């Protein structure tokens, strides 16, 4: 995409530490943008929709799938919203910019695509009643005002997928009822998930279409100030164990010391926010990806829940070479618990 140099500036400000101060001052001060407030209760279905007064927001869905051909697959569907200024405007005057990434990963291939759109003109957006998120011809839609049953489509030059998602568990609010702290200094975001999707449908690859089934995980997060100034990137894990329990954990890497947090979700869907530092993750193996050394095998532990597992990438080359590049792909889990999951790593130079 030709707009990469421009867009990179907008989106990388919060996605990596390449511009620690942020060109728009994201790391420090939020000019006119709303700030997450502790104790503010989330309200649905409105909060499924966009929050244009906040600087950034995303609808982030990943799924671990098994094909009729017996192979493992992963898919990603992400819609980012970035506001150049708070609020909404008519048509081209809208300050909202949208970007989406879609990917399909197998052990031997990783295909991805990116879309960028202007807000205000109907090319991209999110509505909550009924719920629909779209950019161009990619969309995540429901017939209802909730996230229970979704259709999900995306297509790139060489791949596409068309999936049905149905949730068999409740929404999970992270942190304090959805207020998720992101640094020791108090940076925070609103953050909730729907980690209980059963997924079925078709993934089409250059080799042909494959019927797939599996489970998926949707993250919703918005903020105006997600990173501390010295934070250089993050490693984010969403793991689903065969026991039915799930673990979301992240490491925000910083010069002053890493900050970790997460949520333990029991098989019945009950969520327990983790104390900072309770979740531990240490790289075991590195792989050269696009000229960078990236940890693609990890030891993850949550001692309080007797979790000590090895997390290994299904495809170590799951590199998203998009306007702002990062690593994102399906993982397999072995050790005290076994299962599958997704790993996202940003800020590796």
Partner 1 sequence: MTRAAAAAILSHWRRHPLQLATLIIGLALATGLWSAVQAINGEARASYARAAEQLGTSGADRLVPASGSIALSRYAALRRAGWTLAPVLEGTVRFGRQSFDIMGIDLLSHPLAANLADASDQDGAAPMDALLPPGRFFAHPDTAAELAAVQQQHPVTRTSALPRGVLVADLSLASRLLRQPGTLSYLLILPGQTPDLAPLAQLAPELTRVAAKSAAADTARLTDSFHLNLTAFGLLSFAVGLFIVQGAITLSLEQRRGLIRTLRGLGVPMQLLVGLFAAELAAVAVIAGAAGLAGGYLVAAALLPDVSATLAGLYGAPVDGSLSLRPGWVLSGLAMALGGTFLAGAKALFALWRMPLLAAPATRARGQQAGRSHLLSAAGGIACILAGTAVISIFQGLVAGFVFLGGLMLGAALLLPLLIATGLRLGARLARRPYAEWLWADTRAQLPGMSLALMALLLALATNIGVGTMVSSFRLTFVGWLDQRLASEVYVTARSDTQGAELAQWLGSKGVTVLPIRSSDVRFKGAPLRIYGVADDATYRQHWPLLDALPQIWDRVAAGEAVLINEQLARRYDLSPGGSFQLEPGWVLAIGGIYSDYGNPNGQAIVALDRLLARAPDVPNRQFGLRLPPQEVPDLIKSIRQRFEIPRENIIDQASLKARSLAVFDRTFVITAALNLLTLGVAAFAMLTSLLTLWSQRLPQLAPVWAMGLSRRQLAATEVLRSLMLAAITAVLALPLGLVLAWALLAVINVEAFGWKLPMHVFPGDWLRLFLLALLAAVVAAALPARRLSRLDPAELLKVFANER
In angstroms, rounded to a whole number, what is the distance separating the alpha carbons of residues 143 and 133? 12
Distance of CA 182 to CAs 75, 80, 129, 225, 349, Å? Answer: 26, 19, 30, 9, 21
Comparing CB distances to partner 1, the nearer of 24 and 320 is 24
Binding residue (CB under 8 A) for partner 1 from 28, 29, 69, 122:
122
In angstroms, rounded to a whole number, what is the distance separating the alpha carbons of residues 186 and 188? 6
Distance of CA 53 to CAs 37, 56, 82, 154, Å? Answer: 13, 9, 10, 27
The residue range among 116-124, 168-176, 213-221, 248-256 that interacts with partner 1, by the rule CB under 8 A, is 116-124
Structure tokens at 102: 């879609």
Q: What are phi and psi of 159, to 5 degrees?
A: -155, 165
The verdict on 209 binding partner 1 (CB under 8 A) reads no
Comparing CB distances to partner 1, the nearer of 3 and 267 is 3
In angstroms, rounded to a whole number, what is the distance separating the alpha carbons of residues 71 and 317? 17
Comparing CB distances to partner 1, the nearer of 111 and 278 is 111
- The site map against partner 1 for 13-32 (x = CB under 8 A) is ----------xx--------
Question: Which bin fits 305, alpha (ψ -120 to 50), beta or left (φ > 0)?
Answer: alpha
- The site map against partner 1 for 278-307 (x = CB under 8 A) is ------------------------------
Least distance between partner 1 and beta carbon 131 (Å):
17
Least distance between partner 1 and beta carbon 72 (Å):
25
Least distance between partner 1 and beta carbon 120 (Å):
9
Binding residue (CB under 8 A) for partner 1 from 16, 62, 160, 189:
160
The verdict on 123 binding partner 1 (CB under 8 A) reads yes
- Residues 128-147 close enough to bind partner 1 by CB under 8 A: 134, 136-137
Sign (positive/negative) of CA torsion 128, 134, 137, 138? Answer: negative
Least distance between partner 1 and beta carbon 132 (Å):
11
Binding residue (CB under 8 A) for partner 1 from 39, 41, 90, 208:
90
The residue range among 60-68, 86-94, 191-199, 295-303 that interacts with partner 1, by the rule CB under 8 A, is 86-94
Binding residue (CB under 8 A) for partner 1 from 41, 92, 268, 291:
92
Return the biggest CA–CA distance within the chain. Answer: 54
Binding residue (CB under 8 A) for partner 1 from 21, 40, 46, 93:
93
- Residues 45-84 close enough to bind partner 1 by CB under 8 A: 84
Comparing CB distances to partner 1, the nearer of 7 and 265 is 7
Comparing CB distances to partner 1, the nearer of 2 and 306 is 2
Binding residue (CB under 8 A) for partner 1 from 34, 42, 141, 155:
155
The verdict on 43 binding partner 1 (CB under 8 A) reads no
Judged on CB neighbours under 10 Å (0-12, 13-18, 19+), 207 is exposed
Comparing CB distances to partner 1, the nearer of 42 and 155 is 155
User: Residues binding partner 1: what is the number (CB under 8 A)?
Assistant: 32
Interface contacts to partner 1, rule CB under 8 A? 2-7, 9-10, 23-24, 84-85, 90-93, 95, 97, 115-118, 121-123, 134, 136-137, 155-157, 160
């Amino acid at each position: 995409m030709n707009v990469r140099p421009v867009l990179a500036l907008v989106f990388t400000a919060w996605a990596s530490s390449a511009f620690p101060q942020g060109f728009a001052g994201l790391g420090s001060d939020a000019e006119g943008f709303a700030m997450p407030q502790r104790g503010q209760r989330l309200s649905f279905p409105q909060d499924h929709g966009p929050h244009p007064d906040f600087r950034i927001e995303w609808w982030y869905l990943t799924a671990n799938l098994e094909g009729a051909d017996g192979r493992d697959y992963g898919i990603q569907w992400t819609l980012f919203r970035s506001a150049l200024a708070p609020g909404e405007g008519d048509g081209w005057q809208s300050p909202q910019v949208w970007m989406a990434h879609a990917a399909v990963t197998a052990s031997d291939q990783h295909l991805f695509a990116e879309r960028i759109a202007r807000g205000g003109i109907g090319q991209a957006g999110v509505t909550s009643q009924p719920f629909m998120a779209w950019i161009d011809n990619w969309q995540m839609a429901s017939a209802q005002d909730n996230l229970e049953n979704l259709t999900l489509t995306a297509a790139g030059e060489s791949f596409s997928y068309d999936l049905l998602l149905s949730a068999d568990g409740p929404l999970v609010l992270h942190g304090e009822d959805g207020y998720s702290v992101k640094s020791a200094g108090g940076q925070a975001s609103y953050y909730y998930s729907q980690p209980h999707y059963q997924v079925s449908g078709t993934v089409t690859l250059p080799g042909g279409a494959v019927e797939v089934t599996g489970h998926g995980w949707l993250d919703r997060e918005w903020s105006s100030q997600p990173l501390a100034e010295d934070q250089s990137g993050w490693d984010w894990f969403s793991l689903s164990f065969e026991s039915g329990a799930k673990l979301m954990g992240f490491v925000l890497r910083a010069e002053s010391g890493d900050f970790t947090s997460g949520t333990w979700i029991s098989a019945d869907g009950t969520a327990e926010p983790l104390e900072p530092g309770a979740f531990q993750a240490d790289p075991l193996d590195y792989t050269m990806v696009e000229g960078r050394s990236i940890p693609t095998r990890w030891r993850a532990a949550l001692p309080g829940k007797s979790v000590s597992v090895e997390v290994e990438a299904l495809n170590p080359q799951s590199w998203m070479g998009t306007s702002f590049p990062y690593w994102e792909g399906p993982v397999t889990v072995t050790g005290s618990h076994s299962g599958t999951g997704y790993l996202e790593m940003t800020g590796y130079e």
